Amino acid sequence: MQGKKLYVGNLDYSVTKEELSDLFAAHGEVVEVTIIEGKGFGFVEMSETSEAEDAMSALNGTDLKGRTMKIDEARPKRDSRRRF
């Protein structure tokens, strides 16, 4: 794993940034939390790669509000501009 930003999927729509931050903070310093509203996923950025790895190992497949979280390393954002 090279990055410090994690993709967190299969979230209940009622999950808040604060809840995710508190959950991941047990594994290191949380830099930023972003939830994509109405989509059921978000991103958590940790301060260190090792912390992100620890959080991913500990939390992937665990339950949050009745949903099993899917956690993986975030991929770089795709360029949404169309090229013709």
Nearest partner of 3 among 71, 81, 84, 62, judged by Cα: 71
How many residues in the chain? 84
| Residues near 3 by beta carbon (within 8 Å), at least 6 away in sequence | 49, 52, 73, 74
User: Does the predicted TM-score (pTM) go above 0.75?
Assistant: yes
Domain boundaries of the chain, sorted by first residue: 5-73
CATH 3.30.70.330, domain 5-73, yes or no: yes
Q: Judge contact between 79 and 48, C-beta under 8 A.
A: no
Quick: pLDDT tens for 7-65: 999 999 999 999 999 999 999 999 999 999 999 999 999 999 999 999 999 999 999 99
State residue 82's pLDDT score.
62
User: Can you tell me the distance from the alpha carbon of 35 to that of 14, in angstroms, rounded to the nearest whole number?
Assistant: 10
Residue 70, pLDDT above cutoff 80: yes
User: Which amino acid is residue 2, in one-letter code?
Assistant: Q
Backbone φ, ψ for residue 60 (5° rounding): -60, 125
State residue 2's pLDDT score.
62
